Structure 1
Amino acid sequence: MNDRTLQILEFPAILAQVADLALSGLGRSLAGALTPRTQAAAVAELLRETSEARWILESAGAPPLYGLADLSETFRRAEIGAVLDPLALQGIADFLRGCRKTREFMLKRLDQPQAAMVAGYALGLVPLPELETEIERCIRDGQVADDASPELRRTRREMARLQDRIQSKLQQLLAAPAAREWLQEAVVSFKEGRYVLLVKAAQRQKVPGAVVGSSGSGATLFIEPQAVTQYTAALRQLEAAEQEEVRRILAQLSAEVAARIAELSRDLEIMAQYDLAFAKARFSRASGGVAPALNETGRIRLAGARHPLLAGTPVPLDLAIGQDYRSLVITGPNTGGKTVALKTVGLLTLMAQAGLHIPAAAGSELAVFEEVLADIGDGQSIAQSLSTFSAHITNIIAILGQCGQRSLVLIDEVGTGTDPAEGAALATAILEYLYQRGAVTLASTHYPEIKQYALTAPGFRNGAMAFDRQNLKPLYRLVVGQPGASQALWIAAKLGMFPEILANAEARLAGASSLRQPDPAAPPEASALPDGPVEPAPPAASAPPEAVTPAGPAVKIGDMVSVPFLAEKGVVCTAPDAKGRIRVLIKGKKMELPLQRVELLIPAEQLYPADYDLNIVLLTKEERRLKHQMGRKHLPGVARVVSPEEQ
């Protein structure tokens, strides 16, 4: 499987989540090493392992994987004849207890069809009760126990007797009346393996014995009294005998471990596999995963699929490809979910082929591919002097050289980064080549030429990321069978583009569309406004302005409306013209908009008294002053743009 694709689709991040759910370093290592398999039988077995482990987890709880740790280095040392320390031996005993308990736990479920394979792993575990019992008898709390051998028990008892005698002698010296003269402090201390008293340096001659050391100032000497010297010497001999016996016991236990290395190593492999299986089961439960059905014909059918790395509650993906068509061209706004849809299909395919359940509804189906190939992200590289277009083409060339009938190809923004006409032509040729090679392909694009090609080409289908045209918001839902629009103006508005620029762009877009191919069914677009003040016609004295409703809400001058695609409110400056356009005052600026782009909020009669002068709202103070002056007399060199109703 292509390593670059694994990184692009964030497969290592999934493995990291599975590894975090393992109990041991061995399980975490196995989880991190998972790779997608390419044979359907192997994939089916891996998925069955996960399914059975989850069934056991939910019906009986986690198995008792006691003492599971990476003991491979310990086993290696024992095999070459090294003497293992007490902690290492205790770790082996704990591991053997875990093997025994896990075997008992699993064999109880061997006759359950939902767990037969995973429970059957336990048949390979070799219990070693004699070795487990012997180590536990000899090692307690990380130390060799007194009862490990009769000789060790006798030696330690004699050592304890001598220690008591030494303490008794020293206490007698401390209690003597004359001790006050030469004692620096009335305590028994232990220094360099000997029991000593703290004696004043000036009174050295009053305490017969060996000077073991002195304080930093030299005022205190640490003296082992002559009265306990013979006992200390005997104690040193017993300590040497104790160490020799301890070493003999450890060597004997190590030899017993070495004799069973083959069984122990096999048990370690099985227990590590159990750790991995139940880490996968925990991941499945945490992500709401299911085992998909498998096929080798390139058919993908996802229901309610979710990207496992997206936080919150992402919109589920429903998709079917590989049966009626093999190439899907996805269009829609840049933030509408095209890339997430591509990544979801690719990542869930990799997960399933690695034996992981996928977050989707029951009944989902995935193909087993030999290659999953992806070009997602701009791939720009300064170090390699690659532009966005060059990086894309370099990656796509590599994909074209590897793809075949059992390939899943994912390309984001195919043909982008160059002249649109050439990019669209090249992208269409690439998609056609992939189809001819037999690959299942999902590609996103903004090029209308590719959308048009997918409408008529055999084996191709358009797909659109659903968009709420009423509220101008993406729905993040893939709709197969129809092309989508890029919604660039919505994106710009969402990011804060100036309203007057958006209106200008709408007008230019409408003009370009009419030049390319007039479409009477297309909704009218916004147009640019002339420079200078624009004022509405004042309300007629005889009657209020009539409401006009050419395919839009009934609005009149003075009504308050909302403009959803700008997320703003404004006041209507003019009645709709013959083309259904109105002018709206928004934040002190007048914009010409199609009637379909606004929604009536509050009628004018609910906002103003019947005789209210709307010029106060619709015109600036300077505009009102200029209008008043021009109504009284001619002002040379002064001009004012009036609304259509005044002409």
Structure 2
Amino acid sequence: MNERTLNLLEFPKVLDLLAKHAFSEPGREACLALRPHPDAYTVARENRVLGEAFAWFGDTGHKPADFPPLDGLFSVIEESRTHLDLDDLAGLKAVLAEARRALDEFGTPENAAQSGRDLRWPLLAGEAWAVKFPEKSWSGLRRCLSEQGHLKDESSPELMAARAGIREVHKQCIKKVKAYVLENNLTNYLQDDYVTISSDRYVLPLKSSYKTKLPGIIHDYSQTGETCYFEPIFLVDINNQAQEIRQEERAAEREVLRLLTSFARDEFDQLTACYDLLTRLDVLHAKAGLAEQLDASPLEVAPGAPIVLREVRHPLLAADPKAKATSLDIVLEEHHRGLVVSGGNAGGKTVCLKTLGLSALMAMSGLPVPAEEGSTLPLWDRLFVFMGDEQSLADHVSTFTAQIERLSGLLPSVGETTLVLLDEFGAGTDPAQGAALAQAVIEDLLERGATVAAATHFPALKVFALTDERVRAASVLFDPATKKPLYKLAFDQVGQSQALDAAREHGLPDSVLARAESILNPNLPEGVDPSRIMERLNELAVDREAEVANLRKERKKLKERETKLKERFEKEKDKLFEEVRAASRRILREWQDRKISHKQAMRELSEARDKVRDTSKDAAQDETRPGREVSFEDFEKGQAVRYLPWGKKAVVEELDPKKKLLKVDISGVSLWARPEDATPMEQGGAQPAARIAKQQDAAAVAGAGAMRVDLRGRRGDEAVAELSKIVDNALMRNVAHIEVVHGKGTGALRREVHSFLGHSPAVAGYELADEEHGGDGVTLVELR
């Protein structure tokens, strides 16, 4: 994305909003440096991580703290010619303290595995677990640096001895000075305390008028000249001794600084990893803050995904409470590659284009978008904008000429992953020729595979939008009563330009307006008003939008009610499980204490188990298959199901037609189950393994703790996109290994797969399989 496009769509202003939510200077700088990601894998992963970050911040209550920038410090470490100073080390200590706090919130992979609960943030936790904390540097900094950022006495034996010597000299000096002052009756001639320090030597703050009365050295005067800093002769030897010890102190301090710098140099990669993690968390927290401010959420972006922006608002208008931003839908059907928006002046056509472009930039940058959940956008790696006055007086170039020159230079790079926004393109010349040129440009862009969104007043383009199946027409809506813009779109219709209405509103005489109307419609029969037809279409569209808005409100209420019921069920289920655990422990103690027989204990445990099973089964039946029972015939071998008594995902391994039983595998545990204890997962999006293997977004389960994906026949980018989803899915299901089938062939697909695996933070290692299991055609992957 070029900077011109970013500026035209005001993307830097969005980044400014984001940066205000960051806590640290590095976080703010990282926010301002955000740019759209170039590939589908990174975009999808960033949006997944953002969703996980929302959950992590909410569950842990973690809040980033301010920490200093360390770029200069890292430069010193890399130079290897000098050591860090105290300010550097204090900043480094603050960063490591904050990193330690953040890493402790994530815990360890071992603790996560022992808990038996699926993490809600596997990708984010994987990034944190990949950071190796610099224990040596952290230990050294804590031992040597005080809370105020000073070197502690115990930093080294030499430093402790030097500072002890300095304290001893100080005591001697105070003692001798007091005796000297009393002996010479100097109290009335001292301006302050007995002793102070000037030029790094102990001196007496003596009234200047008395300086000639005593033998000694004057080092300095106060600003007023009334006080001189006087070193009596008897202090010279003590001061010389103190200077020697201070030299020893400074040398000892330098050695400590060199040692701590060597620790940092040895663990440089770990330090930068901690720093990057803190910056990453600060940016994610800023994104969460922006999401709350805009009422936004991560958007799904994928190659070939449809343009479906429901209830989307312009981000900058959504951030301004005074703007009262309204939402609109920007939706293209699967066969559409273009959108042509028409309608009256100041009706929101340009805002619509900017909302689409800015939403795309934000989504591809991993930022939350103020649109309804479930909205999607395709992945565009190029975005070109023709908007506003592009004329240059200095170069003697008009707006029209500037647009043509830019378009000519950009056309060769336009392809299937390009979005082009045209705002009144061709309006700076003869209307007929401008309309023809604009239509020709749109057709050429569509033939090149680009996605085009255009705003226009040209009648010819309105007709083109209604007749070309590649393009969808839309009109901005106006309030039928007040003629004020509603900033909504009505699809599959065109809008009337309202130049005459705008002129009337701004005071143009009626005689002029009447003449304009007669010129505009010279041959229409008397009583026929084409503007009335357009107004009627606008009224019908407004009524439809109101009905749709009411339906959405009802759907939202139902969804909120469903969420509350699920939360209530989960709380009651947890409470029941805890009661059953307590009952099981009680039964076990009573049996161990011989208070009840083994038979009685088994009976009571069975009753407790049935209580949990019946409750889980009833709840799952209510949730997943209301109004019907599941029979044995509903299952097939390899099918993904949910085992209701445990509330876990499983795969059907075998079927017993005689006994009407299913053998299911639950994360490596196999058991026979009744049909009523399981439910197919097709409604929830899961499908039988035989079908899953044919799709791009999942892989069949290949046994306990492993997954298998077949990428043969795929293009490199398709294979990498599918594999990235498999890795993410495996992490969420706590699967440790993946078997990737890429075939032997020319080796191109294998290299693409290995390149992706080598750069994925979720991958601990990978190797080719042995000959018995596929050899060069299969790669075995171990996940972190």
Smaller-chain TM-score bracket: 0.7 to 0.9
Q: Which residue of 2 aligns with 1:32?
A: 32
Deviations 1:67-91 (CA, angstroms, capped at 9, x unpaired) = 7443243234234042222222222
Residue 391 (1) aligns with residue 390 (2): no
Q: Using the aligned pairs only, state the percent identity.
A: 32
1:299 lines up with 2:306 in the alignment: yes
Q: CA deviation at 1:45?
A: 0.8
Match of 1:51 in 2: 51
SS at match of 1:73: helix
Partner of 1:93: 93
For residue 303 of structure 1, give the secondary structure of its aligned residue in structure 2: strand
Identify which range, 206-215 or 387-396, moves more after superposition. 206-215
CA distance in 1: counterparts of 2:2 and 2:212, whole angstroms? 85
| Equivalent in 201, 204, 219 of residue 212 of structure 1 | 219
Structure-2 change in CA distance of 1:264 and 1:67 (3 Å): farther
Residue 133 (structure 1) aligns with? 139
The 5-angstrom pairing of residues 629-640 of structure 1 reads none
CA RMSD across the alignment: 2.8
CA distance in 2, matches of 1:213, 1:439: 78
1:287 and 2:294 correspond: yes
Match of 2:552 in 1: none
Partner of 1:119: 125
Describe the shift of the 1:369–1:83 C-alpha distance in structure 2 as closer, same or farther (beyond 3 A): closer
Say whether the 8 Å CA contact 1:81–1:255 is kept in structure 2: no
**Are positions 1:367 and 2:378 aligned together?**
yes
SS of 1:461's equivalent in the other structure is strand
The answer to whether structure 1 residue 435 and structure 2 residue 446 are counterparts is yes
426 and 143 in structure 1: CA distance in 2 versus 1, 3 angstrom threshold: same
Amino acid in structure 2 at the alignment position of 1:470: A
CA distance in 2, matches of 1:375, 1:485: 23
Residue 507 (structure 2) aligns with: 497
**What is the one-letter code of the residue matched to 2:507?**
M
Moved more, 103-112 or 166-175: 103-112
CA offset at residue 216 of structure 1? 8.0
Find the aligned partners of 1:177 and 1:265 in 2 and give their Cα distance: 62
Alignment-mate amino acid for residue 354 of structure 1: S
Of 426, 435, 446, the match for 2:437:
426
Separation in structure 2 between the aligned mates of residue 352 and residue 344 of structure 1, nearest angstrom: 12
Give yes or no for contact 1:326–1:435 (8 Å, CA) kept in 2.
yes
Aligned to 1:610: none
Structure 2 residue matching 1:7: 3-state secondary structure: helix
Q: Which residue of 2 aligns with 1:414?
A: 425
Aligned partner of residue 475 in structure 1, secondary structure: strand
1:166 aligns with 2:165: no
Instruction: Look up the match of 1:552.
Output: none
CA contact (8 A) 1:19 1:31 kept: yes
Out of 373, 376, 382, the residue aligned to residue 387 of structure 2 is 376
- Deviation by residue 1:316-361 (Cα, 9 ceiling, x = unmatched): 1112115243222211122110000011111111111121221101
Amino acid at match of 2:445: L
Match of 1:574 in 2: none
Instruction: Verify: 1:403 aligned to 2:403, yes or no.
Output: no
* Aligned partner of residue 442 in structure 1, secondary structure: strand
What is the CA-CA distance between 1:295 and the residue it aligns to? 3.8
Quote how far apart the aligned CAs of 1:37 are: 2.7
Q: State the Cα distance separating 1:185 from its structure 2 match.
A: 4.6
2:761 is matched with which residue?
A: none
Tell me the residue number matched to 1:485.
496
Q: Which has the higher helix share?
A: 2
Sort the Cα spacing of 1:156 and 1:217 in 2 relative to 1 into closer, same or farther, 3 A: closer
Per-residue deviation at 1:215?
Answer: 6.8
Deviation track 1:198-222 (CA, whole Å, cap 9, x = no partner) reads: 5577766642333435678988754
User: Size of the alignment, in residue pairs?
Assistant: 519
Question: SS at 1:449's partner residue?
Answer: helix
1:122 shift after superposition: 1.4
Moved more, 28-37 or 403-412: 28-37
How far is 1:266 from its partner? 2.7
Tell me how far apart the structure 2 counterparts of residues 215 and 340 of structure 1 sit (CA, whole Å). 67
CA contact (8 A) 2:44 2:302 kept: no
Match of 2:324 in 1: 313
- Inter-partner Cα distance in structure 1 for 2:275 and 2:527: 74
**Cα distance change of structure 1 residues 95 and 231 upon mapping to structure 2, 3 Å threshold:** same
Q: TM-score, normalised by structure 2?
A: 0.62
Gaps of 5+ in 1: 526-647
Instruction: Output the amino acid matched with 1:362.
Output: E
Contact 1:301 1:320 in 2 (8 A): yes
Distance in 2, matches of 1:132 and 1:296, equals: 45
Q: In the alignment, which residue of structure 2 is the partner of 1:273?
A: 280
Map 1:221-232 onto structure 2 (within 5 A).
222-232=229-239
Specify which of 510, 523, 533 is matched with residue 517 of structure 2.
Answer: 510
SS for the counterpart of 2:377 is strand
CA distance in 1 between partners of 2:430 and 2:492 (Å): 28
- Cα deviation 1:30-87 (Å, max 9, x = unaligned): 3333222343222111111111111212332235x55744324323423404222222
Larger relative contact order, structure 1 or 2 (CA cutoff 8 Å, min sep 6) = 1
CA distance in 2, matches of 1:374, 1:185: 74
- Contact in 1 for aligned 2:335/2:469 (Cα 8 Å): no
Kindly indicate whether residue 151 of structure 2 is the aligned counterpart of residue 152 of structure 1: no
CA contact (8 A) 2:131 2:274 kept: yes
* Other-structure match for 2:475: 464
Question: Is the 2:300–2:374 Cα contact (8 Å) retained in structure 1?
Answer: yes
Structure 1: how far apart are the matches of 2:192 and 2:383?
Answer: 80
1:308 deviation in Å? 0.3
How far apart are the structure 2 equivalents of 1:400 and 1:458? 23
Distance 2:70 2:425 in 1: 51
Q: Tell me the equivalent position of 1:264.
A: 271
Mean CA deviation greater in 416-425 or 272-281 = 272-281
Could you say which residue in structure 1 is the equivalent of 2:70? 71
| Aligned residue among 457, 465, 468 for 1:446 | 457
| 1:327 maps to which of 338, 345, 368 | 338
Match for residue 193 of structure 1?
Answer: 200
- Kept after mapping to 2: 8 A contact 1:66/1:95: no
Code of the residue aligned with 2:96 in structure 1: it is L
Q: CA deviation at 1:411?
A: 0.4
Residues 407 and 184 from structure 1, CA distance in 2 versus in 1: closer, same or farther, beyond 3 angstroms? closer
Contact 1:66 1:97 in 2 (8 A): no
Contact 2:313 2:370 (8 Å CA) reproduced: yes
Q: TM-score, normalised by structure 1?
A: 0.74
Residue pair 2:435, 2:458 contacting (<8 A) in 1 also: yes
Q: Are the equivalent residues in 2 in contact too, given 1:338–1:465 (CA < 8 A)?
A: yes
Structure 2 unaligned regions, length at least 5: 533-784
SS in 1 for 2:436: helix
Computing the radius of gyration from Cα coordinates, the structure with the larger value is 1
Q: 1:539: which partner in 2?
A: none
Deviation, 1:102, is 1.4
Deviation at 1:458? 3.0
Give the whole-Å Cα distance in 2 for the aligned partners of 1:220 and 1:19: 52
Q: Which amino acid in 1 is paired with 2:416?
A: Q
Describe the superposition over 1:591-635 as per-residue Cα deviations: whole angstroms up to 9, x where unpaired: xxxxxxxxxxxxxxxxxxxxxxxxxxxxxxxxxxxxxxxxxxxxx
Inter-CA distance 54–217: structure 2 relative to 1 (3 Å threshold): closer
Q: Is 1:87–1:143's contact at 8 Å kept on the other side of the alignment?
A: no
Contact 2:504–2:513 (Cα < 8 Å) also in 1: no
